[in-house]
C-alpha cells in the first residue's frame, strides 16, 4: 500500500472531550494501519493522555490505551464524574481524584520523562495566571498529564515552578496552534471535543447542566477559531466524533469502534488504494468531516 503523503513534520492533535476521547484510540489505530506515522503528537486534557500512550509506543498503542481506559472505567471512585465534581467542590477531596488518576497513569508510564518517549510529545495545559496555553516541559510524563487534565473543580491545579496549571482544554480544546508553534507543516486532528446537545435533550437540562454547557460552548467557540486559523497556514485533517456522552466514563470504550469507522471514512478518501482516484493533501485548508459554519 502506498503511504498517504503529508507535508512533514506531521502532527497528530488529540482534543479534550472527557469520556468521549476514548474514541481517539480507534481513530489513531486506523491512521496507524494506513501507515500514517506522525513526527509529533500534541494533546490537551484527556487527549493528552492518549497522545502520550501513543508517543510511548505506537505499535502497542491500541492495547495499552484500551487497558488504561478500561482500568479507569472500572475504578468506581474515578468513573463517576459527578462524584469527582462534588469531591472537588468539597475542597479537600480534589487531591483524591488526582491520586487515583495518577495510580492508573503510573501503571503505563512509571517515571518516564519526555525524552523516554519514542515520538516527540507535547501536553498542553492552561497557565492560570497568564490565561495562556502552556506546554508542560518541566514535569515527568505522569505529572504533565495530571496538569493537562486538571479539569476545574474536579481536580486541583498543578504547581509548576511559580505557575499554577489547569486543564489545557480551557484555552486549547483542540491544540492545533500549539502543534503549529512546534513546527508542524500538516495536522491530523482526533476531535472528540464538540460541544452541544440534541434539540430534544436541551429542554430537560437542569440549571447546573445549563451552566456547564455554557462553559463548553465558550471553549468550543475558541477551538473553532483556532482550527480556522491553523487551516489558513497548513493542511488540517479533522476526524470529528460528536456522538457518545462526555460524562459516561464507564461506557467510554464503547466509542472506539465509532472512532474507527469515522477515521476510515475520512482517511481513506486520501489513500491511494484499489487504483481509485484520491485527494492529495498539500494546500492549507480544512479537510475531513468537520466544517466551520459561519456564526
Partner 1 sequence: MATPLHVPKPIAATDNSPRGPVQLQACLPRPITFVMAGGGAHGAVQWGLLQALAETDVAADALIGTSAGSLTSAIVGEDPLSALSRLSYVWSQLDLDVLVGDSWVSILSSATKRRRSLADNTTERETLEAILVARSFADLQLPTAAVATDLATGKAKAFDSGDLITALLASSAIPGMLPPVTINGREYIDGLASANLPARLAVERGAGTVIVLDTGSREPVPMSKTPTKVVARVNGILNARQRSAALAFASSRVPTIVLPTPQNLGAALDFRGTMSAASSAYELARTFLSDFAGQYGPKAARADHDLERGLYARRTPYDLDPDLRLQLHSVDAGDHS
Q: Which residues bind partner 1 (CB under 8 A)?
A: 88-89, 91, 94, 126, 128-132, 152-153, 156-157, 164, 166, 170-171, 177, 181, 195-199, 201-203, 205-208, 210-211, 213-222, 225, 293-295
Enumerate residues 6+ apart whose C-beta is below 8 A from 125: 133, 134, 135, 136, 144, 147, 148, 150, 158, 160, 165, 166, 167, 168
Whole-number Cα distances in Å, 106 to 35, 69, 171: 29, 13, 26
Q: Give 127's strand partners.
A: 165
Report the residue number, 152 or 272, with the smaller CB distance to partner 1: 152
Closest to partner 1 by CB, 77 or 202: 202
Smallest separation, CB 69 to partner 1 (Å): 26
Helices (H), the chain: 23-33, 46-56, 61-74, 76-79, 81-89, 94-109, 141-148, 169-172, 176-181, 207-231, 256-268
Nearer to partner 1, 79 or 95 (CB): 95
For partner 1, the closer of residues 23 and 158 by Cβ is 158
Q: How far is the CB of 208 from partner 1 (least distance, A)?
A: 6
Provide, rounded to whole angstroms, the least separation between the CB of residue 6 and partner 1.
Answer: 23
d(CA 195, CA 86): 22
In the complex, the smallest distance separating the C-beta of residue 170 from partner 1, rounded to whole angstroms, is: 6
CA gyration radius, the chain: 18
CB of 141 to partner 1, least distance (A): 23
Neighbours of 257 (CB within 10 A): 12
22 vs 172 by CB, closer to partner 1: 172
Q: Which residue, 37 or 202, has its beta carbon nearer to partner 1?
A: 202
Other Cβ atoms within 10 Å of 275 Cβ, number:
6
Residue 75 Cβ vs partner 1, minimum distance, rounded to whole Å: 22
- DSSP designation for 157: P
Amino acid at each position: 500500500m502506498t503511504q498517504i503523503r503529508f507535508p512533514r513534520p506531521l502532527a497528530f492533535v488529540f482534543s479534550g472531550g472527557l469520556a468521549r476521547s476514548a474514541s481517539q484510540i480507534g481513530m489513531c489505530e486506523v491512521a496507524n494501519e494506513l501507515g500514517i506515522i506522525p513526527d509529533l503528537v500534541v494533546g490537551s486534557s484527556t487527549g493528552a493522555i492518549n497522545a502520550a500512550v501513543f508517543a510511548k509506543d505506537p505499535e502497542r498503542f491500541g492495547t495499552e490505551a484500551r487497558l488504561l481506559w478500561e482500568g479507569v472505567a472500572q475504578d468506581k471512585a474515578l468513573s463517576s464524574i459527578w462524584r469527582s465534581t462534588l469531591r472537588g467542590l468539597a475542597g479537600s477531596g480534589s487531591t483524591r481524584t488526582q491520586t487515583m488518576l495518577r495510580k492508573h497513569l503510573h501503571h503505563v508510564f512509571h517515571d518516564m520523562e519526555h525524552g523516554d518517549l519514542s515520538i516527540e510529545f507535547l501536553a498542553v495545559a492552561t497557565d492560570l495566571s497568564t490565561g495562556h496555553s502552556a506546554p508542560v516541559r518541566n514535569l515527568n510524563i505522569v505529572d504533565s498529564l495530571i496538569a493537562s487534565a486538571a479539569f476545574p473543580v474536579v481536580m486541583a491545579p498543578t504547581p509548576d515552578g511559580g505557575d499554577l496549571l489547569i486543564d489545557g482544554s480551557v484555552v486549547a480544546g483542540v491544540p492545533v496552534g500549539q502543534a503549529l508553534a512546534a513546527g508542524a507543516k500538516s495536522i491530523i486532528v482526533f476531535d472528540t471535543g464538540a460541544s452541544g446537545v440534541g434539540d430534544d435533550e436541551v429542554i430537560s437540562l437542569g440549571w447546573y447542566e445549563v451552566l456547564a454547557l455554557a462553559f463548553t460552548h465558550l471553549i468550543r467557540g475558541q477551538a473553532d477559531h483556532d482550527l480556522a486559523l491553523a487551516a489558513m497556514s497548513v493542511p488540517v485533517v479533522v476526524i470529528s466524533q460528536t456522538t457518545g456522552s462526555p460524562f459516561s466514563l464507564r461506557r467510554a470504550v464503547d466509542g472506539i469502534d465509532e472512532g474507527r469507522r469515522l477515521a476510515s471514512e475520512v482517511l481513506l478518501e486520501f489513500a491511494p488504494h484499489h487504483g481509485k482516484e484520491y485527494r492529495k493533501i498539500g494546500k492549507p485548508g480544512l479537510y475531513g468531516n468537520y466544517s466551520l459554519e459561519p456564526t
